[in-house]
């Protein structure tokens, strides 16, 4: 029998290994017991629940796919399930984990020196140190190849000038991975908090991802040593390769947000009596739930196969684009539908759909806008870049 509560209409559970299910259920318990009781209040007050970060680290949620440096060595499906459960809580929690794992630990692990790995990775896995990823600039995030932040060699140092904007975790980060243009192309620099010429400022007045910190980074003749450069990161393909990791996690995470919205709307529809019967008996309402289940189910199997491809080492970044585009669009549509089904109550953060819908407005824009992902897939099909 299909499980319509989660929903798990196509025995998705049975396609997972025992280990994968166990990881998911552990994170699910953390989200239910620790995150959900506080998250609506955090969203309302615009507060990142930093007190949860140490517990997340204790569960091994940062850098979970690495086998060394104190990390859990999970496969990519388990990693995806972690992201799903975190985003079932709130996109802000998943964002924090995406940035720490996919955008900071991944590049250090892949392109860092042994000293950099020893220095940063174990402490980042324990969340004693927090990272942020500075790629987007005020002149436009979709085209990072047009990077205006520069790094100039000066003896044994580099002097960085420029600005980055809309940077998750910027003001709380101990280290910013700043991508800058050098005379030899794009390079990545680990800019530590407190470095002279480096400052951050929180972006306020956000109506989305309110339980997440977003910041500007300023680099004004900021001098870092050659030992702060990721030695083997050369070219735009490196930051774009980090995006592939984070986009993969988002494609899974969006399902969690959709599941939460679906569940809340469904239990409401079964209880809400109008015109003499629960609205769940109305044809139009049933079609709307059927649509949600159809789209959530398709999204689940899309990312499951993507994860299997990633574990086999054959995943292509255009496949990640298709999944990020499909699943975030699905989740945003489900969240809006759920919000509407809740009637007036749906505009209150007492119910989760408005919070998820507002969050997903960021998720559909960051890590490549929906249009950018459509064009990435289009380029793959037609063989021509149309950006
Ligand atoms: P293009 O010529 O396509 O590529 C340059 C080189 O990079 C390679 N490449 C990739 N490699 C790995 N993964 C990917 N996703 C890759 N995409 C491209 C490509 O093969 C090439 O390699 P090589 O060896 O031939 O040099 O570059 P382009 O300048 O034409 O740009 C293409 C485009 C538009 C797809 C790219 O610029 C893009 O993806 N734009 C969107 C930018 C974006 O997503 N920014 C996100 C910033 S970080 C963020 O939002 C964090 S949110 C965090 C949170 O969760 O809170
Ligand atoms: P633009 O690039 O200016 O795009 C504007 C519009 O033009 C969009 O609708 C876009 O789809 C469209 N467009 C662009 N190119 C084309 C084209 N070729 N054809 C047709 N239409 C096009 N960035 C980081 O580096 N690190 C972070 O940690 C980070 N965190 C973020 C957190 C939040 C909450 C948000 C909202 C953003 C974050 N970002 C981060 C920035 C994010 O990646 C960018 O917002 C995103 O890449 C889009 O860039 P932009 O906002 O400058 O929009």
- Does residue 371's CB lie within 6 angstroms of at least one atom of ligand 2? yes
| Residues 191 and 311 placed together within one structural domain of the fold | no
User: Which residues in the chain show pLDDT less than 50?
Assistant: none
C-alpha distances in Å from residue 285, one per residue of 57, 78, 289, 348? 41, 34, 6, 21
Domain housing 305: 238-382
Tell me whether residue 387 is in a domain.
no
Predicted confidence at residue 1, as pLDDT, reads 76
Token couple for 310:
């990633």
Q: What residues are paired with 274 via a beta bridge?
A: 277
| Residues 63 and 148 placed together within one structural domain of the fold | no
Per-residue pLDDT of 164-213, as tens digits, reads 999 999 999 999 999 999 999 999 999 999 999 999 999 999 999 999 99
Instruction: Tell me which ligand sits closest to the C-alpha of residue 134.
Output: 2
Assign residue 251 the CATH number of its domain.
Answer: 1.20.140.10
- Does residue 136's CB lie within 6 angstroms of at least one atom of ligand 2? yes
Tell me whether residue 4 is in a domain.
no
Tell me whether residue 199 is in a domain.
yes
- Does residue 209's CB lie within 6 angstroms of at least one atom of ligand 2? yes
Assign residue 198 the CATH number of its domain.
Answer: 2.40.110.10
The conformation of residue 240, written as its DSSP 8-state character, comes to H
Per the structure, how many domains does the chain have?
A: 3
Quick check: pTM over 0.95?
yes
Predicted confidence at residue 124, as pLDDT, reads 98
Phi, psi of 163 (to 5 degrees): -145, 145
Predicted confidence at residue 264, as pLDDT, reads 98
| Residues 243 and 372 placed together within one structural domain of the fold | yes
| Residues 319 and 338 placed together within one structural domain of the fold | yes
Predicted confidence at residue 112, as pLDDT, reads 98
Is there a contact between 122 and 165 (Cβ–Cβ < 8 Å)? no
C-alpha dihedral (60, 169, 93, 334), degrees to nearest 10: -140
Query: Closest ligand 2 atom to the C-alpha of 137?
Result: 52
What single string gives the DSSP state of each residue in 25-73?
A: HHHHHHIIIIIHHHHHHHHHHT---GGGHHHHHHTT-SSTT-SSTT---
């Amino acid at each position: 029998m299909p499980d319509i509560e989660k929903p798990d209409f196509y025995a998705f559970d049975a396609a997972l290994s025992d280990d994968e299910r166990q990881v998911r259920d552990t994170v699910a318990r953390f989200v239910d017991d620790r995150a959900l009781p506080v998250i609506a209040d955090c969203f309302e007050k615009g507060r990142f629940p930093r007190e949860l970060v140490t517990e997340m680290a204790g569960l091994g949620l940062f850098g979970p796919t690495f086998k060394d440096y104190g990390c859990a060595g999970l496969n990519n499906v388990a990693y995806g399930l972690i992201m799903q459960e975190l985003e079932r809580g709130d996109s802000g929690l998943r964002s924090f984990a995406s940035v720490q794992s996919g955008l900071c630990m991944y590049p250090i692990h892949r392109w860092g020196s042994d000293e950099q790995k020893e220095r940063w990775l174990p402490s980042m896995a324990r969340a004693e140190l927090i990272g942020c990823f500075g790629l987007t600039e005020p002149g436009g995030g979709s085209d990072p190849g047009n990077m205006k932040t520069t790094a100039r060699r000066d003896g044994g140092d580099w002097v960085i000038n420029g600005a980055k904007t809309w940077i998750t975790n910027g003001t709380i980060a101990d280290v910013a991975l700043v991508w800058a243009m050098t005379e030899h192309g794009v390079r990545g620099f680990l800019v530590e908090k407190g470095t002279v010429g480096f400052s951050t400022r929180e972006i306020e007045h956000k109506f989305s991802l309110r339980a997440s910190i977003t910041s500007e980074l300023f680099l004004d003749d900021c001098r870092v040593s050659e030992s702060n450069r990721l030695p083997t990161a050369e070219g735009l393909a490196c930051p774009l390769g980090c995006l592939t990791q984070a986009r993969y996690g988002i494609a899974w995470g969006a399902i969690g947000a959709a599941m939460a919205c679906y569940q809340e709307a469904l239990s409401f529809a079964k209880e809400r009596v109008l015109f003499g019967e629960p609205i769940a008996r109305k044809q139009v309402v049933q079609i709307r739930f059927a649509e949600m289940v159809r789209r959530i189910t398709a999204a689940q199997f899309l990312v499951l196969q993507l994860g299997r491809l990633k574990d086999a080492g054959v995943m292509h970044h255009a496949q990640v684009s298709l999944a990020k585009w499909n699943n975030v669009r699905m989740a945003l549509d489900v969240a809006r539908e759920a919000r509407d089904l809740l009637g007036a109550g749906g505009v209150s953060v007492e119910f989760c759909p408005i919070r998820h819908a507002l969050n997903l407005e960021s998720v559909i824009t960051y890590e490549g806008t929906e249009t950018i992902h459509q064009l990435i897939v289009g380029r793959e099909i037609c063989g021509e870049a149309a950006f």
